[in-house]
Structures are given as C-alpha cells and as structure tokens.
C-alpha cells in the first residue's frame, strides 16, 4: 500500500520496500556495533606496554636510614607503589601493593598484622606469603639494597615469586 513511485529502485530496477531498507540499515548499525565491541575487547586484553618514561635513576627510591624502621613493621611508599617490611629478624623486603589474584591494591592492616585484599579477601603475612586464598602466589618483590646504612629500593624491575624464601631478604651489615 505504499506508493511505488516513492520507493527506491535497485540496480536491477526492482523497487526496494521500506521494510527491506530499514532492515539493511539496522543490519549495518548492528555490524558496526559488533565491530566496535571486538575492537574494545582486543584493546582490553592486549598486554600493557612497559613505561619507557621512567629512567633507571628514577626507578631507585631512597627509603631512608635503616634505623628508621622498627622490626615487625610495614611502611607504605606511595611514590614507588610498594611496601617496605622490616621483619622481626631485622631483614627487609620491598613488596608490590598489587594482589596476585586480580591486581587490586592490597592495604596493610596493622591491627591484624597482615595485608588484606579488599576485592576477594586474599590475605598475606608480613613476608607477603599467602595466608588465605584465592591469591595464587606471594606478593611480588622489588630489589632492596643497603648502602651506607641507607635503604634503596629498585622499582624498575618486579620479581615474581611463588612463595617466601630467606634468600629474598636483605639484611643490614653488622658493624
């Protein structure tokens, strides 16, 4: 009941109905939306590129004098995005603030002497070992060095680990 004079003609000369034209427009819009979804998913799952704007000198953070840190304490360093833990035996560990489960930021809860992930309740002890899953492994580490009784943490390279071992701890030299 449409006027055939108002309908478009295809290349073959047959007229196109309004319904067919609208169906083609909807199909084109749906195809574009699907293509955009695929592009977004590819961008989301592509690995991040490492930051190239951080020089090696900027990656080393001076934490302070060894005597400033009491045994059995954890200090947060916002600039380097790490925690510096001084163990009861006097050794030091610099651990990432990122949970090994789904990369949430893990705060130190001093009242419970542990790191507790707010996303899925993974718990880590002062050494970064998993106490309560779902985290699959211990918190990642940064290298700690002590020069002239001053602690330095190299945040340029993160070391993945499955669990704590004593060779990961840096001890001050006895004087």
How far apart, in whole angstroms, are the C-alpha atoms of residue 85 and residue 96?
A: 11
Q: Is residue 175 assigned to a domain?
A: no
Shared domain check, 136 and 78: yes
**Does 5 have pLDDT greater than 70?**
no
Lowest-pLDDT range of 46-50, 112-116, 127-131, 163-167: 46-50
Query: Mean pLDDT, to the nearest integer, of 6-34?
Result: 82
**CATH number assigned to the domain comprising residue 148:** 2.102.10.10
**Does 12 have pLDDT greater than 90?**
no
Q: Is residue 164 assigned to a domain?
A: yes
Shared domain check, 159 and 86: yes
Query: Mean pLDDT, to the nearest integer, of 121-138?
Result: 93
3-state SS, the chain, equals CCCCCCCCECCCCCECCHHHHHHHHHHHHHHHHHHHHHHHHHHHHCCCCCCCCCCHHHHEEEEEEHHHCCCCEEEEECCCCEEEEECCCCCEEEEECECCCCCCECCEEHHHCEEECCCCCCEECCCCCEEECCCCCCCCEEEEEEECCEEEEEEEEEECCCCCCHHHCECCCCC
**Does 3 have pLDDT greater than 60?**
no
- Beta strands 114-116 and 123-124 are antiparallel
Shared domain check, 108 and 31: no
Q: Is residue 104 assigned to a domain?
A: yes
**Does 56 have pLDDT greater than 80?**
no
**Does 160 have pLDDT greater than 70?**
yes
Shared domain check, 90 and 155: yes
Q: Is residue 120 assigned to a domain?
A: yes
Residue with the larger pLDDT of the pair 84 and 4: 84
What is the tally of structural domains in the chain? Answer: 2
Shared domain check, 75 and 27: no
Residue range of the domain that includes 12: 1-46
């Amino acid at each position: 009941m449409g006027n055939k004079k108002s309908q478009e003609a295809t290349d073959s000369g047959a007229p196109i109905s309004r319904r067919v034209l609208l169906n083609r427009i909807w199909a084109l819009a749906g195809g574009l939306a699907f293509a955009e979804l695929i592009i977004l998913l590819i961008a989301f799952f592509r690995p991040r590129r490492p930051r190239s704007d951080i020089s090696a000198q900027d990656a080393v953070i001076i934490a302070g004098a060894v005597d400033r840190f009491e045994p059995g304490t954890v200090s947060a360093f916002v600039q380097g995005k790490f925690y510096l833990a001084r163990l009861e035996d006097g050794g030091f560990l610099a651990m990432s603030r990122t949970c090994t489960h789904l990369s949430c930021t893990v705060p130190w809860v001093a009242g419970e002497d542990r790191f507790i992930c707010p996303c899925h309740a993974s718990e880590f002890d002062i050494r970064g070992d998993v106490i309560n899953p779902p985290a699959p492994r211990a918190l990642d580490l940064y290298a700690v060095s002590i020069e002239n009784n001053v602690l330095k943490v190299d945040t340029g390279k993160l070391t993945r680990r499955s669990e704590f071992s004593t060779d990961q701890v840096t001890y001050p030299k006895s004087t």
